[in-house]
Structure 1
Amino acid sequence: MRPFAIAGIQMKVSAVASNVEMMKLKLNITMSLYPWVEMVVFSELCAYGPLTHTAEAIPGNFEREMQAMAKKHGIWLLPGSVFEKSEGHIYNTATVINPQGEIVTRYRKMFPFFPYEVGVTPGSGFCVFDVPDVARFGISICYDMWFPETVRTLAVMGAEVILHPTMTGTIDRDIELSIVRAMAAVNQCYFFDVNGLESGGNGRSLVCGPDGRVIYQAEGNEEIFPLELNIERVKRSRELGVLRLGQPLKSFRDHIGEFGIYQQGAHLPYLNSLGPLIKPTKVDALAKLKMQEHDYEPPANPTGYKGFGEV
């Protein structure tokens, strides 16, 4: 495997106007300054911001414009994500484009930020893709990584680099930074987390190596951060251990099947006792809800999504 250069673009995101032209400008600047970059990653919902009324059908104009930019510069491109309108549902969807300007794959965010990301349907398929003679990449979007099973599944599918567009402007960003480090270490992979600014997040994008150590952390301003990754480090970590110590992927492999909570139809009384997934409310209303919790039964299909899988 040869080294591979990825640039993250942490930029301001407007919620009231299209950011597409600024994305194109930032991409042109990146490739002018760093012509050796081979892949560029933007933040979640960078193109149009966080409001679902911007949802559009895919394929559409945004993808076509990004395809032209990827072909122009001869790069792999993950232009964040957009809200996708499909068969009466809205998804949070990321597209991967190759240096020929072709769509390689798309990924629908599996864990919308419920109960806040109202009106967004979860995707149901994991997504990996190969850059020939380089590595296998996996895609995760924002809240997905709070569910370690998602990143672990990508690692089991062979992903050596996790690309993670995010849009975090909330006070839990410090927690997310610790999760990025943990996911990189326990899955022995590179983790490339790109956040936005203003309506697109509070910045502090983070890149970690397969031992969980920080390779680069951005601040709270606009940044372009190009990094050359040595993918061989992933193979060596997975074969010899994190810092030549623990070998979590091998240990997981050797104990698969012993986790009863994941079995179809598993009885989960404690989780069911937590009540419905709702926004926190005032204390008196919360107390009233608590009185009703003993009658709570989790819905068979809590989100109501049809489950289209990977697109």
Structure 2
Amino acid sequence: MNNFAVAGIQMNVSAVDSNVEEMKLKLDITMNLYPWVQMVVFSELCAYGPLTYSAQEFPCDFEVQMQEMAHKYGIWLLPGSIFEKADDKIYNTASVINPQGEVVTRYRKMFPFYPYEEGVTPGLEYCVFDVPDVGRFGVSICYDMWFPETIRTLACMGAEVILHPTLTGTIDRDNELAIARAMATINQCFLFDVNGLDTGGSGRSIICGPDGRVLYQAQNNEEIIPIELDIHRVRRSRELGVLRLGQPLKSFRDHLGDFSIYWRDTEHPYLDSLGPLIKPGRMDRIAELKKIESALHQRHDSGHS
């Protein structure tokens, strides 16, 4: 079986109240309207919003409730993400639940949105899982997508569909839509990007095919987005090329090791010259920080002379 139906749920998210009951209602509506759907994906931090005070340890009551919903409808479920508390750290973590209501894996966001997503620790492990008789899926969260190595790694691990919950309410959403299309194209995969609304984002969720073309793009209102994916399109693209033209995954494979930027112990003087990762402020303050940094460098250099 190569066809698989995934529904994205783009919904309003409150940063003050729990959104869990509303998520369950949306699931009830989705499965009653579209009983043929086999997987449902919510947006990043959909359950409790974008404030870290809601962080909780896993396993947790939210995850248990989502397990019950997955089992109730016999679907795969990625209920967005929540902030996870573990070992005095906070992670942005998504659970993947199978139709039996079992948690098959969890993914911790690798690239928190620094310098804005303060206090969140990056995850270290990539996440793929197999849907039997369908294909391999990968999980990525929001800002991860801005680093092409993340999606490329999932593709190299065999992921044919990238599930990408996001929370973007900022003016760079147009940039993300372009990145989503590019990531789907160069990695020859489906990319299912689900954004929230209100404090959960500005909507415009997007689903792209392995040729980078848009299968559907939502607007700025609540939507249920059921899409049947033909996984065979990914395999044909990777076998014969994007639109029967370029074969980027094969070409990447054939040049592995040629990218010296990734070699161990490689120096990056230009990147190092960019300065620290800080939240932008007033230009006069930035100029002052640059002067301080320059003075510290001069002092360090004179100490070695």
Closer/same/farther in 2, CA of residues 252 and 61 from structure 1, 3 Å limit = same
- Could you tell me how far 1:264 is from its partner in structure 2? 1.7
Is structure 2 residue 134 aligned with structure 1 residue 118?
A: no
- Could you tell me how far 1:288 is from its partner in structure 2? 1.1
1:41-52 matches, within 5 Å, as: 41-52=41-52
Task: Work out the CA distance in 2 between the residues paired with 1:105 and 1:201.
Answer: 25
Match of residue 132 from structure 2: 132
Match of residue 155 from structure 2: 155
Task: Work out the CA distance in 1 between the residues paired with 2:187 and 2:147.
Answer: 13
* Aligned amino acid, residue 103 of structure 2: I
Task: Work out the CA distance in 2 between the residues paired with 1:91 and 1:294.
Answer: 34
Match of residue 258 from structure 1: 258
Task: Work out the CA distance in 1 between the residues paired with 2:296 and 2:243.
Answer: 46
Task: Work out the CA distance in 1 between the residues paired with 2:118 and 2:210.
Answer: 34
Task: Work out the CA distance in 2 between the residues paired with 1:268 and 1:39.
Answer: 43
Task: Work out the CA distance in 2 between the residues paired with 1:266 and 1:56.
Answer: 39
1:138-287 matches, within 5 Å, as: 138-287=138-287
Match of residue 29 from structure 1: 29
Aligned to 1:35, the other structure's residue is in SS state coil
Match of residue 20 from structure 1: 20
Provide structure 2 residue ranges, at least 5 long, that are not aligned to the other structure: 298-305
* Aligned amino acid, residue 50 of structure 2: P
- Could you tell me how far 1:295 is from its partner in structure 2? 6.4
- Could you tell me how far 1:2 is from its partner in structure 2? 2.0
- Could you tell me how far 1:296 is from its partner in structure 2? 7.3
Alignment check: 8 A CA contact 1:85 1:91 kept: yes
Aligned to 2:49, the other structure's residue is in SS state coil
* Aligned amino acid, residue 277 of structure 1: L
Closer/same/farther in 2, CA of residues 232 and 288 from structure 1, 3 Å limit = same
- Could you tell me how far 1:266 is from its partner in structure 2? 1.2
TM-score (norm: length of structure 2): 0.96
- Could you tell me how far 1:294 is from its partner in structure 2? 3.9
Task: Work out the CA distance in 2 between the residues paired with 1:198 and 1:50.
Answer: 11
Task: Work out the CA distance in 2 between the residues paired with 1:125 and 1:227.
Answer: 28
Aligned to 2:227, the other structure's residue is in SS state strand
Task: Work out the CA distance in 1 between the residues paired with 2:2 and 2:283.
Answer: 56
* Aligned amino acid, residue 265 of structure 1: D
Task: Work out the CA distance in 1 between the residues paired with 2:296 and 2:173.
Answer: 32
Alignment check: 8 A CA contact 1:273 1:293 kept: no
Alignment check: 8 A CA contact 1:80 1:94 kept: yes
1:89-100 matches, within 5 Å, as: 89-100=89-100
Is structure 2 residue 45 aligned with structure 1 residue 61?
A: no
Task: Work out the CA distance in 1 between the residues paired with 2:128 and 2:195.
Answer: 21
* Aligned amino acid, residue 261 of structure 2: I
Task: Work out the CA distance in 1 between the residues paired with 2:203 and 2:295.
Answer: 42
Q: Quick check: which has more Rg, 1 or 2?
A: 2
Alignment check: 8 A CA contact 1:41 1:165 kept: yes
Is structure 2 residue 101 aligned with structure 1 residue 82?
A: no
* Aligned amino acid, residue 155 of structure 2: A
Match of residue 70 from structure 1: 70
Closer/same/farther in 2, CA of residues 242 and 52 from structure 1, 3 Å limit = same
Task: Work out the CA distance in 1 between the residues paired with 2:236 and 2:38.
Answer: 23
Task: Work out the CA distance in 2 between the residues paired with 1:191 and 1:295.
Answer: 47
Aligned residues: 297
Match of residue 309 from structure 1: none
* Aligned amino acid, residue 161 of structure 1: V
Provide structure 1 residue ranges, at least 5 long, that are not aligned to the other structure: 298-311
Task: Work out the CA distance in 2 between the residues paired with 1:203 and 1:67.
Answer: 26
Aligned to 1:265, the other structure's residue is in SS state coil
Task: Work out the CA distance in 2 between the residues paired with 1:12 and 1:265.
Answer: 46
Match of residue 301 from structure 2: none
Aligned to 1:130, the other structure's residue is in SS state strand
* Aligned amino acid, residue 156 of structure 1: C
- Could you tell me how far 1:290 is from its partner in structure 2? 1.8
Task: Work out the CA distance in 1 between the residues paired with 2:17 and 2:219.
Answer: 24
Q: Percent identity?
A: 73
Task: Work out the CA distance in 2 between the residues paired with 1:206 and 1:106.
Answer: 23
